[in-house]
Amino acid sequence: MNKGLYAQSVTKRYLGGGDEVRAVDAVDLTVSLGEFVAIVGPSGSGKSTLLHILGGLEKPTRGQVFFDGDDIYRKGDHALSAWRNETVGFVFQFYHLLGELTVAENVALPALLKGRSRKSALKKSRELLQYLGISEKKNSFPSQLSGGQKQKVAFARALINDPDILFCDEPTGNLDGESAEKVMAFLSDWHRKKQKTVIMVTHNRELAREAGRLLHLRDGRLGQA
C-alpha cells in the first residue's frame, strides 16, 4: 500500500430533480509523500467534491481513501475529526475566518483544539504570520484585511499543526492577479522548503503549473492535463 494518499474507485452521486448526478466518477489517484499535485477543471466539474472526499470532509458514495495505508472512512467520527486536525490542513476559497477573533487568534484556533496551551498556540501563530509577512496584522480583525491578507491568514491557520498534507480549494479564486501570484509563490516556496504533500484544485491552469504534476477533472472523471 502506498505510504502517501491513495484513492480507489472514488465515486460521489447526488440525486437532483429525479436524476442522478455523478460529481465524482470512479476516480483512482495516488499521491506520494512530498508531491505537489494540481487538479484543474471548469466550474462544476467535481473538483471541490473530490478534494473534500480526499481530505476526509465528505464520505464518498462508493470507493475508498487511504492515507499511510489506513482507510480514513473506516474511522469513527471522532477519530476522523482528530485525523483531520492532526494530519491535514485545508485552505478554502472563502477564507472562513471568524470575525470576532483577531488574526492571531484565528490562526491559533486549530492548535488550541488540538490541546496546545494558549501561550504556545499564539506563539506559533505569530511565528507563522511573520513567515507570511503579515505579522503587523496579528491584532487586527478579518474585516480590516484585504483579500490577499485574509488568504495568508487562512494559510497560516492551515499550517499551524504542521500538517503532513495540505488541501487547497481554489486558494486564489477570490484574489486579483497580483495577490494570486504572491499566494502561489508562498505555497510553492513552502512546499519546496518543507517537502510536504500539497493537493490543490483550481480553474486557473497558469497558476497550476507551479505544481509538480498537473491533472484534469471533467464531468467527475480524472485524467492527465
**pLDDT tens digits, one per residue of 165-174:** 999 998 887 7
Backbone angles phi, psi at 143, to 5 degrees: -65, -15
- Residue 106, in any domain of the structure: yes
- 187 band by pLDDT with thresholds 50, 70 and 90: confident
- Residue 82, in any domain of the structure: no
Backbone angles phi, psi at 25, to 5 degrees: -125, 95
Total structural domains within the chain:
1
Range of the domain at 190: 31-57+87-224
- Are 30 and 5 spatial neighbours (Cβ–Cβ below 8 Å)? yes
Q: pLDDT (tens digit, 9 = 90+) per residue, 27-81?
A: 999 999 999 999 998 887 889 999 999 999 999 999 999 998 899 999 999 999 9
- Residue 213, in any domain of the structure: yes
Q: Which residues pair with 40 in a beta bridge?
A: 202, 216
- Indicate yes or no: pTM above 0.85: yes
- 135 band by pLDDT with thresholds 50, 70 and 90: very high
- 136 band by pLDDT with thresholds 50, 70 and 90: very high
- Are 125 and 107 spatial neighbours (Cβ–Cβ below 8 Å)? yes
- Residue 64, in any domain of the structure: no
CATH number, residue 168: 3.40.50.300
- Residue 81, in any domain of the structure: no
pLDDT given for residue 18 in this prediction? 67
- Residue 21, in any domain of the structure: no
Residue 131 has pLDDT above 90, yes or no: no
Residue 2 sits at the vertex; the CA angle it makes with 111 and 87, to the nearest 5 degrees, is: 5
Percent of the chain with pLDDT over 90: 58
Q: pLDDT (tens digit, 9 = 90+) per residue, 105-128?
A: 999 999 998 889 999 999 999 999
- Residue 69, in any domain of the structure: no
- Residue 41, in any domain of the structure: yes
